Amino acid sequence: MKLRPYQQGAREAVLQEWGKGIQNTLVVLPTGTGKTIVFSKIIESCVEKGERVLVLAHRGELLDQAADKLAKSTGLMCATEKADQTCLGSWFRVAVGSVQSLQRHKRLQQFSSDYFNTIVIDEAHHAISDGYQRILEHFNEAKVLGVTATPDRGDMRNLGQLFESLAYEYTLIQAIRDGYLSPIKAQTIPIKLDLSAVGMQTGDFKAGDLGTALDPYLYQIADEMAKICMDRKTVIFLPLVKTSQKFCSILNGKGFRAAEVNGNSQDRAEILRDFDQGRYNVLCNSMLLTEGWDCPSVDCVVVLRPTKIRSLYAQMVGRGTRPSPETGKTELLLLDFLWHTDRHELCHPASLICESEDVAKKMTENIKEAGYPVDLEEAEEQATQDVVAQREEALAKVL
């Protein structure tokens, strides 16, 4: 399998970092740019040197996905370290491991500290949690590669504590410019949603409070969606399963073909397949689909689960960033709302690409005032110009 230029760049950068003696390094690639392929090719290089590699993830779907991509892109097969399955005694050089299983003291003690030469952490923004730390401390001689779509974390414990270097970063805008991801247009729906009574928990809004705050607006939101995205393929993120189920029912009453999927849905695979094939045109979920699910034909994302955490916001939006020219997709439409909150800065479309807070603020204002879908890259350029002009004007007044 031939790697894309940025994938090859990421692979070479990681091997270079390890070659320089840097033990723990990080790669940042936007959702939809094939990060699993990148780490599969890095693993292939490690196995060629006779190394043993562990791929760690916090969800079963991610482990299955990693094993599948590894086999397809390199031909390497994996052992599994999860629940009652173990990689001990396997002749495969690669193991995919569940953090929940492996973090247990009794289980870790079955492995010598030098059993794995290299550890790859998928969705590495989770790696600061205690379970990952226990595993990394046990295998303390292993080289570590973290792969993530967005390098920040809601509890503000910096990934820099864990990773010594950022080997490679490929931004969302670069990926869109290079044609590997779909252009994004953002539109603000003129509905004011009041979050002032919503409490905080572990650095983000409480899901239960969000559900209560959102409830009175659901019919109004459905009416606005009927005007804007009736003919699109839409994924909606909501704070609670009951809110997701209620909104699904409201949308069906408005003429959408909506389905709802959650962790307890016994027919989950069937619903996802039907949505993929076009039987439904809206999929409601309560944060189930933030990771490890691909449906490139999605061309509208509605975030009704406001968050302060950029990595979470980027993952939600990332469900719609893959290109799908064969289905006629030309861009992703991202719907935003007028969230009212007294104390907390929350994520907007500008959070996906802006480094400067001033530019992000101005960009959010501009998108709100436009009232129609605005291209993100163009909006950032305009907001940057506006901020420069404002600063020059303020300076002229002082002088």
Q: What is the pLDDT of residue 397?
A: 85
- Convert the pLDDT of each residue in 249-307 to its tens digit: 999 999 999 999 998 988 999 999 999 999 999 999 998 898 778 899 999 999 999 99
Q: Are 313 and 152 in contact (CB under 8 A)?
A: no
pLDDT tops 70 at residue 133: yes
3-state secondary structure of 179: coil
**Amino acid identity at 330:** T
Report residue 338: phi and psi, to 5°.
Answer: -85, 75
Report residue 333: phi and psi, to 5°.
Answer: -95, 125
**Alpha-carbon gap, residue 381 to 377, rounded angstroms:** 6
- Convert the pLDDT of each residue in 159-195 to its tens digit: 778 899 999 999 999 999 999 999 999 999 999 999 9
pLDDT tops 60 at residue 154: no
Rounded to the nearest 10°, the torsion over CA 97, 101, 106, 107 is: -20
- The whole-number average pLDDT for the span 34-53 is 97
> pLDDT tier at 149 (50, 70, 90 boundaries)?
confident
Provide long-range contacts, Cβ within 8 A and 24+ apart, for 362-368.
362/386, 362/387, 362/390, 364/336, 367/186, 367/187, 367/188, 367/336, 368/188, 368/338
- The whole-number average pLDDT for the span 352-374 is 94
- Helix, strand, coil shares of the chain, percent, nearest 5, are 45, 20, 40
Question: What residue spans define the domains of the chain?
Answer: 5-170, 184-387
The DSSP string of 237-298 is E-SSHHHHHHHHHHHHHTT--EEEE-TT-TTHHHHHHHHHTTS-SEEEESSTTSSS---TT-
> pLDDT tier at 155 (50, 70, 90 boundaries)?
very low
Q: Do 5-170 and 184-387 show the same overall fold?
A: yes
- The whole-number average pLDDT for the span 335-340 is 94
Q: Which of 326, 330, 315, 321 is nearest to 285 (CA)?
A: 315
Looking up tokens 């940025």 gives: 6
pLDDT tops 60 at residue 157: no
Q: What is the pLDDT of residue 165?
A: 93
Q: Are 375 and 184 in contact (CB under 8 A)?
A: yes
pTM, full prediction: 0.89
5-170 fold: Rossmann fold (3.40.50)
184-387 fold: Rossmann fold (3.40.50)
3-state secondary structure of 161: helix
Q: What is the pLDDT of residue 325?
A: 94
- The whole-number average pLDDT for the span 186-206 is 93
Report residue 163: phi and psi, to 5°.
Answer: -105, 130
pLDDT tops 70 at residue 312: yes
Q: What is the pLDDT of residue 341?
A: 87
**Alpha-carbon gap, residue 358 to 381, rounded angstroms:** 13
Q: Which two tokens stand for residue 267?
A: 């027919």
